[in-house]
């Protein structure tokens, strides 16, 4: 039909948002769904327990904020570590891909060992440790690019590898643990996860293009400072992942 992209994409966005809003009440549990743990017990009504009420819950919104920063850190790494290595460290594409490989390897290891780590230290401590690791890793990656040309080439590359390893390890648990925390109460799990999940996914998908705009103006590596800002918010919000008290 020769429809311009500038017309097509907004039209599709409006159509999708309208359909999602119309359908959301149909696939979230209503007020009379029984818990999985006690299917034969009458469920106590809760004030404001509709499908959209979770958007007004402070804990759920803080979990969304935590997942937002960690999701952005993961999505940005996927898109920009290799480019940042090539641009900021003056290496070829193969070395840039190897830098991203360090991130993926660390994230994979962290997700395999995550259950053990969570059992040892608990959710909140694990999330705070992860956020701190991302903050340090991103900072090391940014600062390492400033060594290029002043020291032997192996030194900044080793610094970059350390930064990406810390970044990958730290970003690994943010999204899955945030989902788990949102689902603590089986009665309200679907509504709360429906808040936290799209926030994290939006950060994962929208964060990298925003950094791209900043990178076009300031350079790719300096633009990654935006990841550190987002993860600092995740660090502040990590306490929201504490398990719910019985009354909550």
pLDDT at res. 3 = 84
pLDDT band at 54; cut points 50, 70, 90? confident
Angle between helices 58-89 and 154-171 (to 10 degrees): 160
Tokens 């994409």 belong to which residue?
9
Question: What confidence tens digit (pLDDT) does each residue in 103-159 have?
Answer: 999 999 999 999 999 999 999 999 999 999 999 999 999 999 999 888 888 999 999
Q: Is the pLDDT of residue 233 over 60?
A: yes
pTM for the structure as a whole: 0.79
Residue ranges per structural domain of the chain: 58-241
Main-chain phi, psi angles of 148, to 5 degrees: -60, 130
Homologous superfamily (CATH) for 58-241 = MFS general substrate transporter like domains (1.20.1250.20)
Q: How confident is the model at residue 2 (pLDDT cuts 50, 70, 90)?
A: confident
Q: How confident is the model at residue 42 (pLDDT cuts 50, 70, 90)?
A: very low
| DSSP per residue, 187-221 | TTHHHHHHHHHHHHHHHHHHHHHHHHHHHHHH-HH
């Amino acid at each position: 039909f020769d429809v311009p992209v500038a017309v097509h994409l907004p039209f599709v966005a409006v159509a999708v948002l309208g359909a999602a809003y119309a359908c959301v009440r149909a696939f979230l549990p209503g007020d009379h769904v029984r818990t999985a743990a006690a299917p034969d017990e009458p469920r106590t009504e809760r004030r404001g327990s509709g499908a959209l009420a979770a958007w007004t819950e402070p804990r759920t919104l803080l979990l969304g904020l935590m997942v937002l920063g960690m999701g952005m850190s993961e999505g940005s790494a996927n898109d920009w570590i290799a480019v940042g290595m090539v641009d900021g460290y003056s290496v070829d594409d193969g070395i840039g891909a190897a830098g991203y490989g360090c991130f993926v390897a660390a994230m994979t290891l962290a997700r395999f060992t995550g259950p053990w780590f969570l059992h040892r230290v608990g959710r909140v401590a694990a999330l705070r440790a992860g956020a701190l690791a991302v903050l340090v890793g991103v900072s090391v990656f940014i600062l390492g690019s400033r060594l290029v040309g002043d020291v032997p080439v192996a030194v900044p590359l080793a610094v970059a590898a350390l930064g990406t390893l810390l970044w990958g390890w730290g970003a690994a648990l943010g999204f899955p643990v945030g989902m788990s925390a949102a689902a603590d109460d089986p009665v309200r799990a679907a509504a709360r996860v429906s808040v936290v999940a799209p926030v994290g996914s939006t950060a994962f998908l929208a964060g990298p293009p925003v950094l791209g705009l900043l990178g076009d103006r300031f350079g790719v590596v300096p633009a990654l400072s935006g990841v550190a800002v987002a993860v600092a918010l995740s660090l502040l919000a990590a306490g929201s992942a504490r398990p719910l008290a019985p009354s909550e």
